[in-house]
Amino acid sequence: MNHRAIRAIYLFEMARTWRTLLQSIVSPVVSTSLYFVVFGAAIGSRISEVEGVSYGTFIVPGLIMLSVLTQSIANASFGIYFPKFTGTIYEILSAPISYVEIVLGYVGAAATKSIILGLIILATAGLFVPLHIHHPIWMLTFLVLTAVTFSLFGFIIGIWADGFEKLQMIPMLVVTPLTFLGGSFYSIDMLPAGWRSVALLNPVVYLISGFRWSFYEIADVSVSVSICMTTAFLLICLAVIWWIFRTGYRLKN
């Protein structure tokens, strides 16, 4: 294992985060705070409790997941797309490093950023609403699992994209709608019966449900199903990345 190469890629990517602090950390925190103000305080005050939890508190796990999902994808996809765009990918491809090491460097950095962001948003949420986390270990497990899985997904998008438009396409047209419809702001029990069945086809439902359970012990689906679905998505992403590197898809001629 070329540990120094993993470290070099990881630190290089993390350095980009600190260099673009406003865009990487501050901007998502500001937008999440706005969600609290709008949905938590303004609209939430008119909504009764959801399964014994005030609405403002109820949306906290969903909001964290919303940011972690979108930022994991954005960080990882941009991380690998940018060297392709500038041409500096030649150095990665010609270095004595394995595909596993490349993925560990890029995805590790993207996931780290998302986890840090998730924890910052959690701390920010604590300023707006009272929080009590019933299962902190599970909360961290879901946070890490989601960050890693969606960073892998972002890495795939970054390799697939051959232009900035494609880089934005899947996050904007697929991931954001799925996240909004995945129960970030409501329990799927609040939906009519037919839509509830449709919602269960949305993989994000399982992530948010499991994460919310770790906070309040309330869930739309069972925790074990949430973990299984997230792990399944993780394995699918790993399989796709394995195929990408085996074939050199969009990386090597």
Partner 1 sequence: MSSIISVANLSKTYGSGFKALKNVNLDIKRGEIFALLGPNGAGKTTLISIICGIANPSEGTVLVGGENIQTSYRKARSLIGLVPQELHTDAFESVWATVSFSRGLFGKPKNPAHIEKVLKDLSLWDKKDNKIITLSGGMKRRVMIAKALSHEPQILFLDEPTAGVDVELRKGMWEVVRTLQQSGVTIILTTHYIEEAEEMADRIGVINKGEIVLVEDKATLMEKLGKKRLTLHLQGKVTTLPDSLSHYELDLCDGGATLVYDYDTKGERTGITSLLSDLRNAGIRFNDLDTTQSSLEDIFVDLVRTS
Phi, psi of 50 (to 5 degrees): -110, 115
**Nearest approach, Cβ of residue 89 and partner 1 (Å):** 8
- Using CB under 8 A as the binding rule, whether residue 22 contacts partner 1 is answered as no
Burial of 16 by CB count in 10 Å (0-12 exposed, 13-18 middle, 19+ buried)?
A: middle
Q: List, in sequence order, every residue forming a beta bridge with 50; answer none if it has no partner.
A: 53
Instruction: Using the rule CB under 8 A, give the single segment among 63-71, 81-89, 173-181, 191-199 that binds partner 1.
Output: 81-89
**Residues with Cβ < 8 Å from 62, sequence gap 6 or more?**
182, 183, 184, 185, 208, 211, 212
- Using CB under 8 A as the binding rule, whether residue 12 contacts partner 1 is answered as yes
User: 249 to each of 8, 161, 241, 243, how far by Cα in Å?
Assistant: 24, 11, 10, 8
CA distance 205 to 246: 32
Among 18, 86, 192, 224, binds partner 1 (CB under 8 A): 86
Letters for 36-75 (x = contact with partner 1 by CB under 8 A, - = none) are ----------------------------------------
- Using CB under 8 A as the binding rule, whether residue 93 contacts partner 1 is answered as yes
**Nearest approach, Cβ of residue 55 and partner 1 (Å):** 43
Interface ranges with partner 1 (CB under 8 A): 2-5, 7-9, 11-12, 15, 19, 86-88, 90-98, 248, 252-253
